[in-house]
């Protein structure tokens, strides 16, 4: 089956599930789509157990989709840019120090907690998971995903400061997490001994280089947009900035995700205020809002369908690791926020209530699944891929569905 046909199937399912959600379920779009696609997958698996062999043909279709390439090298750049474009830069600047600490140190601390605790628990349970893969899992699952978090945050009545902290952290820690994961991946390759200094240097080059490169991209885009007054051309410039800029980042070996976030903030802040007419602002916002909604619809439909591929050959080790991972990720997230908020004396501090909201609102989406798919082939790959999928599903369906009630209760207290 050709790629075009697969895209057609995905788009059709996303449209069908979106329609059913809008007319009947009336859930937040992301949750409704994933719930339906997951239910559809489980239905197919149930029919297979009853003797209706329909799963294998469907599995073959979705095995042709390289989720890692499709997401990390395709959808992610557009989703990050769109997410950053609609963030209020002024609110981010008010909590810039908090965001910087949480998005960098928070990811490292959380990844260390998860990796260390998971390795210790695996030794107690006899799971025999190698430590480097436990820390790899910690790195890929620690960042909160802006693709999953921002759409829900926009509908909730949290304070501007908390909203800015969660939004800003999710935008930046996502890129930091990818860089940390790729840096640790070097340790799994048979290329000879690698020093901690080399890993740290790679991390700094990707992260710092990505931020500077994104600032340059955003500034060039701003100057080009400011020099014309044609909303069609200005939208095309932003498309070129995202697609071409992200591709060039891979050639330069800097973080494309961080570059897209910084570029999006510049275009959405300075570019929108000083470089665009009211007509351009209106049309640009409509265009990127539509792009974000369409790509999210396809993404979360695909995540739900991925269970058909991931669930094969499950063992007790897979299930135990997943059951341990879910509470471990939540606890590590909460502790990292509380510890950094108290030990580093963040401006105005982070209350326990705020830390709880930031923990429960720190959703995971497609990024962890895409990263888990890049783990080298072997026993640990299938174990951590399934654990990642379970954490993501729990995050979106349970945390995402209850977030409004949790926030309302915390705010009301």
Average pLDDT over residues 360-388: 87
What's the pLDDT score for residue 152? 67
377: left (phi over 0), alpha (psi -120 to 50) or beta: beta
Distance CA 131, CA 135 (A): 6
Cα–Cα dist 255/218, whole Å = 15
Tell me which range, 147-156, 179-188, 200-209, 244-253, is most confidently predicted by mean pLDDT: 244-253
- Measured between alpha carbons, how far is 361 from 406 in angstroms, rounded to an integer? 9
CB atoms within 10 A of CB 390: 19
Query: What is the rounded average pLDDT for all residues in the chain?
Result: 86
Q: What gap in Å lies between CA 296 and CA 308, rounded to an integer?
A: 20
Rounded Cα–Cα distance for residues 187 and 127 (Å): 21
Which two structure tokens, joined as six digits, stand for 377?
């082939």
Please report the domains of the chain, with CATH numbers, ordered by start residue. Answer: 68-413 (1.20.1530.20)
How many Cα atoms sit within 13 Å of 368 on the Cβ side?
Answer: 31
> Alpha helix locations (H) across 267-378?
272-274, 278-305, 307-310, 316-343, 352-360, 366-372
Which residue did the predictor score with more confidence, 326 or 156?
A: 326
Residue 239 vs residue 96, higher pLDDT: 239
Residue 158's pLDDT is what?
A: 67
Q: Is the pLDDT of residue 409 over 70?
A: no
304-319 pLDDT tens trace: 888 888 877 778 888 8
For residue range 193-204, list pLDDT tens digits in order.
666 677 778 788
Q: Which residue pairs, CB below 8 angstroms and at least 24 apart, start in 15-19? A: 15/297, 17/297, 17/301, 18/297
> Alpha helix (H) ranges present in 21-145?
29-49, 55-63, 67-70, 76-85, 89-94, 96-125, 131-141
Task: Tell me: pLDDT of 411 over 60.
Answer: no
* pLDDT tens, position by position, 61-96: 777 777 888 888 888 999 999 999 988 888 888 888
Q: What is the pLDDT at residue 412?
A: 44
Could you tell me the pLDDT band of residue 113, with boundaries at 50, 70 and 90? very high
Q: What pLDDT does 268 receive?
A: 94
Q: Is residue 298's pLDDT more than 60? A: yes
**pLDDT, tens digit, for every residue of 153-194?**
666 666 777 788 888 888 888 888 888 898 888 777 655 566
| Torsion 327-328-329-330 (CA) sign | positive
């Amino acid at each position: 089956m050709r790629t075009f046909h697969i895209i057609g199937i995905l788009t059709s399912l996303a449209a069908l599930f979106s329609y059913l959600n809008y007319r009947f379920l009336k859930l937040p779009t992301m949750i409704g789509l994933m719930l339906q696609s997951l239910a559809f997958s489980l239905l197919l698996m149930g029919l297979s157990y009853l003797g209706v062999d329909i799963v294998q043909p469907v599995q073959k279709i979705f095995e042709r989709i390289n989720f890692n390439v499709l997401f990390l090298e395709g959808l992610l750049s557009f989703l990050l840019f769109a997410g950053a474009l609609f963030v209020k830069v002024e609110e981010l600047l008010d909590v810039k120090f908090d965001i910087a600490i949480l998005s960098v140190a928070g990811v490292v601390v959380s990844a260390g907690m998860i990796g260390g605790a998971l390795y210790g628990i695996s030794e107690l349970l006899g799971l025999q998971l190698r430590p480097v893969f436990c820390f790899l899992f910690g790195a890929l699952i620690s960042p909160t995903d802006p693709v999953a978090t921002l759409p829900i945050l926009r509908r909730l009545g949290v304070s501007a400061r908390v909203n800015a902290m969660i939004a800003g952290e999710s935008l930046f820690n996502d890129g930091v997490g990818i860089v940390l994961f790729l840096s640790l991946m070097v340790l799994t390759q048979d290329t000879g001994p690698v020093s901690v200094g080399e890993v740290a240097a790679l991390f700094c080059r990707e992260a710092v280089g990505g931020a500077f490169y994104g600032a340059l991209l955003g500034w060039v885009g701003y100057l080009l947009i400011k020099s014309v007054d044609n909303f069609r051309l200005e939208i095309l410039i932003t498309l070129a900035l995202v697609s071409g800029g992200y591709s060039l980042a891979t050639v330069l070996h800097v973080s494309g995700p961080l570059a897209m976030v910084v570029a999006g903030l510049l275009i959405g802040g300075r570019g929108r205020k000083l470089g665009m007419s009211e007509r351009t602002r209106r049309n640009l916002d409509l265009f990127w809002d539509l792009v974000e909604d369409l790509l999210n619809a396809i993404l979360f439909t695909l995540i739900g369908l991925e269970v058909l591929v991931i669930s094969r050959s499950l063992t007790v080790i897979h299930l135990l690791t997943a059951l341990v991972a879910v509470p471990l990720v939540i606890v590590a997230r909460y502790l990292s926020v509380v510890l950094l908020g108290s030990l580093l004396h963040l401006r105005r501090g982070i209350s326990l209530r705020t830390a709880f909201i930031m923990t429960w609102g720190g959703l995971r989406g497609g990024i962890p699944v895409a990263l888990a798919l890049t783990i080298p082939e072997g026993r640990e790959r299938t174990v951590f891929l399934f654990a990642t999928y379970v954490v993501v599903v729990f995050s979106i369906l349970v945390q995402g569905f209850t977030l409004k009630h949790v926030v309302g209760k915390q705010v009301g207290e």
